[in-house]
Amino acid sequence: MNKVISGFKHSLFTCIHLFLSLVGIIALGATPALFNGLSLSITQYFLAFGNLVASLLEPSTLTYSYYKVVRPLFPEILIRYKESITIFASSFIVSLILAVLIVYCLTCLNPRIVNKVKQSLVYLEALPDILIIMILQLSIVWLFKNTGILVVEVAAAGDQKIRALPIICLSIPTTIMFTKILLFLTEEEYEKPYVSLASGKGLSHFTVFYKHVLRNVLLRFFFFTKTNIWLMLSNLYIIEYFFNSIGIFIFVKDYNSIETFTVALLLIYLPIFIYFQLFRLFTSHLLKEVV
């Protein structure tokens, strides 16, 4: 009985949380109405807010316009959305795998080298993503000029899809970030007594890492992954712009109206919200031990 009540309470809280964040997003989406040029107009803001809620309740009426050509918003934005998600998800997975591999290699090494790597990671993190993008593009073009091999497509034109280079560009800063976090978490984990016990029992280094340490580390990593997602998304925004790929961010940038912006915000926010809620639901019994 108690469990039912607490479960009910939990879901109620989740609903309230969702409702409040939706209100927050709509309030955020309506902000351009708040500024008329550079002056504030609060009445207009509330009007825009009301209009936005009304139009969001009937998604089929939403439209976007480009040079007075009005088209329905809905199938189009989802296609763009899929493109963004593909790039985001694949570079997330690639970076995570790479970061885990790097961290595993580092755990085998001398701690003095690891310290050096840590220091260099700080500098690497300071590199702005644009520098990385530019250097990559330049080197690919340079390679093309000198050898005639085009490794990957450099920029998209028209409706052409370009995926490889955006994924690579997004993966590089992300891998650096993930490596730093995972390295920190792993080092913390290695100080715990169960690791000494496991290696004392004669388990190999790989088994200890893979079967014991990695699972706990990844659990914590996914729990605190919100900032990473935020950073990746802001990098993705600029990468889409750079490569002229047809993702949701560019869609919002090109056809910017309050409605498009808010729908895009909702589309970005909701999956992340659901992910965190599900994660909390399924791992709450585990997290008590870990966090």
Partner 1 sequence: MWYYFIRQKRAVTALLFLVTLVVLSIGNSVIHDGEIRRVSLLFDENGTVSAAPFAPSAKFLLGTDRKGYDLLHLIIEGAKWTIGAGLLITFMRILIGLLLGIILAKFKKTLFQSFESFFDSFSVIPMTMISYFVLQHALTFGNGTTPEPFFLRVGFQLMILIIFAVPTITYYLGNEMKLLLNEEFVRSAKILGGRYPHLLRKHIAPHLNPILIILFLQQFIQVLVILIHLGVLQVFFGGTIVFYGGEVDSVTHEWTGLLGMYYASFMSHPWIPLVPILFFTLTIIASTFILTGLEKAYLLSKQKSFKQEIKPLKEIPSGPSFSFVKENKPKKLTPL
* Site for partner 1, rule CB under 8 A: 13, 16-18, 20-21, 23-25, 28, 31-32, 35, 37-38, 122-123, 126-131, 134, 137-138, 141, 226-227, 229-230, 233-234, 236-238, 241-242, 249, 252-253, 256, 261, 265, 268-269, 272-273
* Residue with tokens 């825009």, as numbered in its chain: 48
Closest CB 28 distance from partner 1, rounded Å:
6
Question: Is the Cβ of residue 134 or residue 150 nearer to partner 1 in the bound state?
Answer: 134
Question: Is the Cβ of residue 129 or residue 212 nearer to partner 1 in the bound state?
Answer: 129
Question: Is the Cβ of residue 220 or residue 253 nearer to partner 1 in the bound state?
Answer: 253
Question: Is the Cβ of residue 130 or residue 290 nearer to partner 1 in the bound state?
Answer: 130
Task: Name 66's bridge partners.
Answer: 69
Residues in the chain: 291
Q: In whole angstroms, what is the distance from residue 3 CA to residue 213 CA?
A: 31
- Can you list the positions of beta strands (E) in the chain? 35-36, 39-40, 63-66, 69-72
Closest CB 272 distance from partner 1, rounded Å:
5
Q: In whole angstroms, what is the distance from residue 203 CA to residue 212 CA?
A: 11
Question: Is the Cβ of residue 13 or residue 46 nearer to partner 1 in the bound state?
Answer: 13
Q: In whole angstroms, what is the distance from residue 218 CA to residue 208 CA?
A: 14
Closest CB 193 distance from partner 1, rounded Å:
25
Closest CB 249 distance from partner 1, rounded Å:
6
One-character DSSP codes across 37-77:
TTEE-HHHHHHHHHHHHHHHHSGGG-EEEETTEEEESHHHH
Closest CB 160 distance from partner 1, rounded Å:
18
CB neighbour burial string for 139-175, b if at least 16 within 10 angstroms, e if fewer: ebeeeeeeeeeeeebeebeeeeebbebbbbbbbbbbb
Question: Is the Cβ of residue 16 or residue 290 nearer to partner 1 in the bound state?
Answer: 16
Closest CB 211 distance from partner 1, rounded Å:
33
